[in-house]
A and B are shown apart, each in its own frame.
Chain A
Amino acid sequence: MSVNITTLDERTRVTSEADSALDTEEYFVNMGPQHPATHGVLRMVLKLDGETIKEVIPVLGYIHRSIEKICEHSTYRQIVHLTDRMDYLSSIMNNWAVSLTVEKAANIELTERIEYIRTIVAELERIHSHQVAWGVMGMDLGAFTPFLYGFRDRELVTDILEETIGARLTMNYIQPGGVMFDIHPNFVKKVKEYIAYFRPKLDEYEDLMSGNPIIQQRLRDVGTMDGETALSYGATGPVLRASRVPYDLRKIEPYGVYGKADFNVAIGTAGDCWDRYYVRIEEMRQSIRIIEQLIDNIPEGKFMVKKPAVKIKVPEGRYYGHVETARGVLGVFIVSQGKDIPYRMYFRTPNFHNLWCTTAIAPGGRIGDLVAITASLDLVIPDIDR
């Protein structure tokens, strides 16, 4: 296999000159690093013909913090705190990915209580992540109100999590050998209250956005991606499932107590922006179902099996573990030399792979379509660069 390496400079050179008055000339526009629709410092170089997109070239590196390098001299418990700076909307699930891999490698047995708490907290966070995705989708399509509705309900989730965890955004809770604190006495009651509150709100979401003819026009048959393309680009999560591939780690390789919960995997049929949007709405419903089944049955027991002072050592070897975060599969690869710090750490982050789908599905559409596509991929930029 040969790989052609071209520089950005070569790719953004205008090759054709307009030779008659009727010819149109292609031009390049920088979308980002500062642009309202990229939600961060993502830069996409667009090759445009009028409003029609000919090519999308994502340019990365604007928020690279070398998390993987810092991991090489941090203990496994410290690494957990770095992971929630990657995809800040599924920070707890990122914690879980590292913890899961380390526990598997170091053969740490967990109590039932830990698994229950982890699953419930992760599902709560999945709901709050999809609420943001829903709101941001509205904002990117020009409707500002959904954004605030989404955030209104998300704040209540962060309130619940804050009581237990102490943080609202970069929550670090799950760590190798358990969770950092036991759940707050109010936790169970508040989660139940929240679910009772959020169920009707989800219908309100649908009233406000799903049925709107303009939303339908903007999302249906826009950025259609078949399952094959999605798989070949390494897309995961709602993006892959919207393309009719029922790949969900919670079902395929159940971790936590997902095996005990009864829930369905939402999949799309066409793989367009609408399906990606609606898969997330349906996943919120399924998350509510999971939480409802688990919340009453949290068993008694230890919330941490390893004392915080203990430095966890991972035996020599290579280990891989993955979880389903709100945006897809987060894989953790550890190369260990038997010490309490890894020799090399690699994160397979979902957004990095989902981002490249734009290069396949955006050309041919308008600028407005690209905005809809990036919103439907639900990109979190710090996760792309790490």
Chain B
Amino acid sequence: MNILDLLSIPILNISSSGWETITIAQRAADALSGNSIELTIFFLILCILITVSMLAGLGMVLIYAERKIAGHFQCRLGPMRVGWHGTLQAFADVLKLLLKEDLVPARADKLLHLGAPFLSILATVLGLAIIPMSPSIQVIDVNIGVVYVTAITGLGVLGALIAGWSSNNKWSLLGAMRAGAQLISYELSATLGILVIVLFAGSLQLSEIIQSQAEGWWIWRAHIVGIIAFFIFLIASTAELNRTPFDLPEGESELTGGFHTEYSGLRFAFFFLSEFVNMFVASALVVTLFFGGWMPFHIGNWEAFNSIMDLIPPAIWFAGKSAFFIFLLMWFRWTFPRMRIDQLMRLEWKILLPIGFANIFLASLVILTKFHF
């Protein structure tokens, strides 16, 4: 095999004409059965590269975006000094965090304290791996994708809980308890929101959920039920991300920093990074479930319009849609104040959850009567 073979691999296939998903893990398996060890290794390295570069790259870009957006929301400029319009600020910050002393409180549970950030970031990496970014850019396509996502977000709670517990600080512990209560509660609503789409799509696999939206996105086709499910999922995933108005586990003005009060340097950066990349994962899921993932925007029979839309590569569609939802999450953060812990629980158990259950019942009726587009 020579280098030309590598170049001819349709990895950068930007045409969306054939919307068949080929994951990179699938390509590696194909190469292995084709007895091409070099190609197998190449694809496996690509898997790792995609997740790692997504993690680092997204972290940097999102932190920069957040600071710029916050700046302009607040009548100021945001970072301006390092690089053109502060573009290198994120790198400077990472460098600073790398050079900082990694402190462990004297009476902390050392092993757990050191390990907690890794659990947090592990959950994020595992989540990134199954996000379908385009028909050809998806690391692995699990056939129970939705269940996998729900399980992985559950793993993230563990990082926060362990961090708060092992720090041996009462503020951290309060933050951890809040995180546990909040994340587990809102997971229920998020799952109920996802389930509606699973009912419509008839599959748990993320790529198939996207394929099922070739006729139209579920937010439109599942009309009222879909919109309710969308709002439930959006609110619940904002809560799972620990972002304002649900940032109680950190609650800077109340708990001085919540579960990561006692973290410094790179370990703090890990919590920070996982929060930001989780934001991408959540936005990507919203896009995948309700807004057709990497599918281009089509309108009924407008052939000309649709073919122009097809020219835009699916990866761009996906990036644009997720960027919109990331912006929405940042907008929330710089507008809303924080809720109180009992109000947060009331919102979940007394409002969102009953609506979620009613909605899923309604959704099954809609599907049975075929009362959707």
User: A-facing mask of B143-178, CB < 8 A → 1, else 0?
Assistant: 000000000000000000000000000110010000
Choose from B76, B254, B336 the contact partner of A368 (Cβ within 8 Å). B254
Interface size class of B (residues with CB under 8 A): 20 to 34
User: What is the CB-to-nearest-CB distance from B239 to chain A, in angstroms, rounded to a whole number?
Assistant: 13
Q: CB distance B174 to A51 under 8 Å?
A: yes
Q: CB distance B253 to A371 under 8 Å?
A: yes
Do most interface residues of chain A lie in helix, strand or loop, or is the interface mixed? helix
Task: Report Cα–Cα, A143/B170, bound state, in Å.
Answer: 24
**Residues from 136 to 192 in A contacting B, C-beta threshold 8 Å:** 138-145, 148-149, 152
**Residues from 1 to 55 in A contacting B, C-beta threshold 8 Å:** 27, 29, 35-37, 51
- Chain B residues whose C-beta falls within 8 Å of the C-beta of A36 in the assembled complex: 252-253, 256
Q: CB distance B73 to A367 under 8 Å?
A: no
Task: Report Cα–Cα, A259/B336, bound state, in Å.
Answer: 41
| Closest chain A residue, CB of each to CB of B171 | A29
Do most interface residues of chain B lie in helix, strand or loop, or is the interface mixed? loop
Q: CB distance B252 to A214 under 8 Å?
A: no
Task: Report Cα–Cα, A283/B111, bound state, in Å.
Answer: 55
Task: Report Cα–Cα, A217/B334, bound state, in Å.
Answer: 18
User: What is the CB-to-nearest-CB distance from B356 to chain A, in angstroms, rounded to a whole number?
Assistant: 20
| Closest chain A residue, CB of each to CB of B247 | A142
Q: Is B15 an interface residue (CB 8 A)?
A: no
Choose from B70, B247, B334, B340 the contact partner of A218 (Cβ within 8 Å). B340
User: A-facing mask of B244-269, CB < 8 A → 1, else 0?
Assistant: 11011001111110000000000000
Interface size class of A (residues with CB under 8 A): 20 to 34
- Chain A residues whose C-beta falls within 8 Å of the C-beta of B255 in the assembled complex: 367
- Chain B residues whose C-beta falls within 8 Å of the C-beta of A297 in the assembled complex: none
- Chain A residues whose C-beta falls within 8 Å of the C-beta of B256 in the assembled complex: 35-36
Q: CB distance B75 to A366 under 8 Å?
A: no
- Chain A residues whose C-beta falls within 8 Å of the C-beta of B253 in the assembled complex: 36-37, 139-142, 371
- Known A27-B170, A35-B256, A218-B339; contact A142-B244, beta-carbon cutoff 8 A: yes
- Chain A residues whose C-beta falls within 8 Å of the C-beta of B339 in the assembled complex: 214, 217-218
Task: Report Cα–Cα, A188/B233, bound state, in Å.
Answer: 55
| Closest chain A residue, CB of each to CB of B340 | A368
**Residues from 182 to 212 in A contacting B, C-beta threshold 8 Å:** 208-209, 212
Choose from A27, A212, A217 the contact partner of B340 (Cβ within 8 Å). A217
Task: Report Cα–Cα, A88/B335, bound state, in Å.
Answer: 29
Q: Is B303 an interface residue (CB 8 A)?
A: no
Q: Is B307 an interface residue (CB 8 A)?
A: no
Q: CB distance A145 to B254 under 8 Å?
A: no
User: Which residue, of A148, A209, A367, A368, has the highest number of chain B Cβ atoms within 10 A?
Assistant: A368
- Known A51-B174, A217-B339; contact A143-B252, beta-carbon cutoff 8 A: no
User: What is the CB-to-nearest-CB distance from A232 to chain B, in angstroms, rounded to a whole number?
Assistant: 28
Q: CB distance A142 to B74 under 8 Å?
A: no
| Closest chain B residue, CB of each to CB of A38 | B253
**Residues from 340 to 386 in A contacting B, C-beta threshold 8 Å:** 366-369, 371
| Closest chain B residue, CB of each to CB of A365 | B340
- Known A35-B256, A143-B244; contact A212-B337, beta-carbon cutoff 8 A: yes
Choose from B70, B76, B338, B341 the contact partner of A142 (Cβ within 8 Å). B338
Task: Report Cα–Cα, A138/B334, bound state, in Å.
Answer: 11
Q: CB distance B334 to A371 under 8 Å?
A: no
- Known A139-B253, A367-B254, A367-B255; contact A145-B335, beta-carbon cutoff 8 A: yes
Q: Is A215 an interface residue (CB 8 A)?
A: yes
| Closest chain A residue, CB of each to CB of B170 | A29
Q: CB distance B254 to A37 under 8 Å?
A: yes
Could you list 14 examples of A-B contacts with CB < 8 Å?
Answer: A29-B170, A29-B171, A36-B252, A141-B338, A142-B251, A143-B338, A144-B74, A149-B75, A215-B337, A217-B340, A218-B343, A366-B342, A368-B251, A368-B340
Closest 6 CB pairs between A and B?
A142-B338, A141-B337, A143-B337, A148-B74, A368-B340, A37-B253
Further contacts, 5 of them, CB under 8 A, given A27-B170, A142-B336, A366-B340: A35-B256, A36-B256, A37-B253, A209-B337, A217-B343
- The interface of chain B, by Cβ under 8 A from chain A, is 70, 73-76, 170-171, 174, 244-245, 247-248, 251-256, 334-343
- The interface of chain A, by Cβ under 8 A from chain B, is 27, 29, 35-37, 51, 138-145, 148-149, 152, 208-209, 212, 214-215, 217-218, 366-369, 371
